[in-house]
Structure 1
Amino acid sequence: MFMNLLRENKIVAGILTILRLYLGYAWFTAGLGKIQSGAFNASGFLGNAVANPVKGPDGSVVYAWYVKFLESFAIPNVDIFNFIVPWGETLVGLGLMLGCLTTAAAFFGLVMNFSFFLAGTVSHIPTDLFLGFIILAAGYNAGRIGLDRWVVPFIRKTVLKGKEPAKQHA
């Protein structure tokens, strides 16, 4: 019942638009600031995440697998992350603000938030995760008041050749 309301109600679409704009602006300004400064470098953040991993009450590393990922892939390829973090934040923000490919933007925003969270950053991330999951769960309705009103039908018609998404039965 709640999912139907979240995914189909036009009043909820208006509320989702406000949430989308708020979250999108935060992502967009964070990414654009990094791009404009031209000085973004993730190596300090990544190095700190490895040096000071998230620890449990007993002092053991909670996300050892993530620390291994950072050590073996992220740090050696920091140039990739120096590119994808600012551009990813900017594009997620644009997608959310414009309501264009909204669910994809919300998904990639959640991936980035979880990456920051696993590295030990808390800040406003729990709020962003909560809002991101609401937007993702709402699906098309989150972008109904936005470019998705035209983009999603176009994709269904041209890319998916008119196939309607399968209805889920509760």
Structure 2
Amino acid sequence: MMKWWRENVWAAGLVVWVRLLLGYHWLTAGWHKITGDKPFDATGFLKGAIANPVADKTTGEAVYPTYLAFLEHFALPNVKLINILIPWGELLVGLGLILGTLTVTAAFFGLLMNFMFVFAGTVSTNPWLMLLGMLVLTAGANAGRFGLDRYVLPLLRKEANRFFRRGPKTPAAGAGLQH
């Protein structure tokens, strides 16, 4: 089954539709946050997630204590950074999925954002989007077969091979020495 998702042309065609649906969701979510009437501000969401974390019904303890600590000690104190990363991250994930450019990377970061929203207690469409994102991620490079990855990935491979064959550019021995 994995071979089919990763190599079959029909699977690539199916994943295009999944990519477009997912990409549209991410693109519009980011676009509305960037161009909305009010500037996007995650402060209230973060404070709500910290004040009312996902908790075990029997013990009342936080189910995701490390994520709660991340929200308290990093996200909330750096909310200005979060206010930039979320909308632009959503927009870029959407563009990557729609255009089929760095598709696996876009799917990965989309999944990462969905998991963070779920850890914060927001269910909404996140589980559905996570399922679709997993399909794109599972398809790997085949997910971008009918997209710009068809051209971008070979170029990236070529440059990576050139870099690792020659190594990073370093000055020749004695170069730049003044006598």
Asked if Structure 1 and Structure 2 have the same fold, meaning a TM-score greater than 0.5 normalized by the shorter chain, the answer is yes
Equivalence for 2:19 = 20
More off after superposition, 76-85 vs 56-65: 56-65
The higher radius of gyration belongs to 2
Matched, 1:153 2:154: yes
Equivalence for 1:121 = 122
Equivalence for 2:6 = 7
Equivalence for 2:131 = 130
Equivalence for 1:40 = 40
Q: TM-score, normalised by structure 2?
A: 0.88
Equivalence for 1:144 = 145
Aligned AA for 1:143?
G
Shift of 1:68: 1.1
Aligned AA for 1:54?
V
**C-alpha separation between the residues in 1 aligned to 2:86 and 2:101?**
20
The answer on whether the counterparts of 1:156 and 1:162 sit within 8 Å (CA) in structure 2 is no
Equivalence for 2:57 = 57
Runs of 4+ in 1 over 4 A off after TM superposition: none
The answer on whether the counterparts of 1:17 and 1:145 sit within 8 Å (CA) in structure 2 is yes
- Give the RMSD, CA atoms, in angstroms: 1.3
Aligned AA for 1:67?
L
Shift of 1:160: 3.0
More off after superposition, 52-61 vs 13-22: 52-61
**C-alpha separation between the residues in 1 aligned to 2:133 and 2:91?**
15
**C-alpha separation between the residues in 2 aligned to 1:160 and 1:138?**
24
**C-alpha separation between the residues in 1 aligned to 2:40 and 2:63?**
28
Q: TM-score, normalised by structure 1?
A: 0.92
Matches for 1:29-108 after TM superposition, within 5 Å: 29-37=28-36, 39-58=39-58, 59-108=60-109
Shift of 1:56: 1.3
Alignment gaps of 5+ in structure 1:
164-170
CA gap of 1:10–1:162, structure 2 versus 1, over 3 A, is farther
The answer on whether the counterparts of 1:42 and 1:82 sit within 8 Å (CA) in structure 2 is yes
Shift of 1:122: 0.3
**C-alpha separation between the residues in 2 aligned to 1:56 and 1:161?**
52
Aligned AA for 2:145?
R
Shift of 1:161: 3.1
Shift of 1:162: 9.4
CA gap of 1:108–1:35, structure 2 versus 1, over 3 A, is same
**C-alpha separation between the residues in 1 aligned to 2:104 and 2:162?**
20
CA gap of 1:75–1:162, structure 2 versus 1, over 3 A, is closer
